[in-house]
Amino acid sequence: MIRLAVVDDHPIVIQGIVSLINNFDNMMVTGSFQTGNELISFLENNKLDIVLLDIMLPDINGIELCAQVKRLSPSTAVIAISNHTERSIIMQILQNGACGYILKNASVEELKNCIETVLNGELAFSKEVIEIIAKPSVNDLKGRAKFTKREKEILLLIAQGKTTASIADELFLSPLTVETHRRNMMQKLDVKNSIELINLATEQLLI
């Protein structure tokens, strides 16, 4: 019997997956969780064959969670179920050991297929995801640009609509310093104003 767990902060999604899995007679859902930490503590005392996990969780980034799962239990297969269509995100979680990635708007059929494929030891993706993986986007090259801690801190404040002056005030910095950080970030992502910076950064989960 194949043991499977689901992590998603939307109970309805969990319900959907559980009811789907129950149609398989060689599979059972042995746990469903709304946070990453719940999954981790479950994994410490239980074995799992497959984990389906959302990328946006309240407590922990799904990419990080995937790495933790694989560290704790390398034999457990991880399938990401997410809304994110950014190639860089998909590649990140795959590099962290996930063996599948399907979008939430995938059909129930696709989800079924993916689980079966993963059980065969192969990587599995929903249709849309395959297209995304197939062609590296321009954004992706930029995506490698990581922000420093300080930059992220300032980006967050920019994203809240705060002015350079008030950010400088808040962080006890010179406005010129704040300016410099903002400009460096814009350069890293190759954009020409703050709104584009926020958009691109948000898209890529850099914020």
Partner DNA sequence: CAAAATATACCTGAATTCAGGTAGAAAAAA
Partner DNA sequence: TTTTTTCTACCTGAATTCAGGTATATTTTG
Residue 118 binds a second copy, judged by CB under 8 A: no
CB-based contact 79:124 (threshold 8 Å): yes
Residue 151 binds DNA, judged by CB under 7 A: yes
Residues ≥6 apart with Cβ < 8 Å to 188: 142, 145, 147
Residue 106 binds a second copy, judged by CB under 8 A: yes
From 9, 179, 205, 207, residue interacting with DNA (rule: CB under 7 A): 179
Rounded-to-integer distance, Cα 42 and Cα 94, Å: 23
- Give how far the C-alpha of residue 92 lies from the chain's centroid of Cα atoms, to the nearest Å: 8
Kindly list the distances between the CA atom of residue 178 and the CA atoms of 70, 155, 158, 166, 202, in Å, as whole numbers in the listed order: 39, 10, 10, 10, 19
From 33, 34, 67, 92, residue interacting with a second copy (rule: CB under 8 A): 34
State the binding partner of 111 from DNA, a second copy, none, CB within 5 to 8 A by kind: a second copy
CB of 193 to DNA, least distance (A): 3
From 63, 77, 99, 198, residue interacting with a second copy (rule: CB under 8 A): 198
The site string for a second copy over 43-82 (x = CB under 8 A, - otherwise) reads --------------------------------------x-
Residue 163 binds DNA, judged by CB under 7 A: yes
Q: Which residues of 116-147 are buried (b: 16+ CB within 10 A; e: fewer)?
A: ebbbeeeebbbeebeebeeeeeeebeebebeb
Residue 174 binds DNA, judged by CB under 7 A: yes
From 12, 75, 135, 138, residue interacting with a second copy (rule: CB under 8 A): 12
Tell me the torsion sign for CA atoms 148, 149, 151, 152.
positive
Rounded-to-integer distance, Cα 130 and Cα 102, Å: 9
From 117, 134, 136, 159, residue interacting with a second copy (rule: CB under 8 A): 159
From 41, 46, 95, 105, residue interacting with a second copy (rule: CB under 8 A): 105
Residue 146 binds DNA, judged by CB under 7 A: yes
- Which one-letter DSSP state was computed for residue 52? E
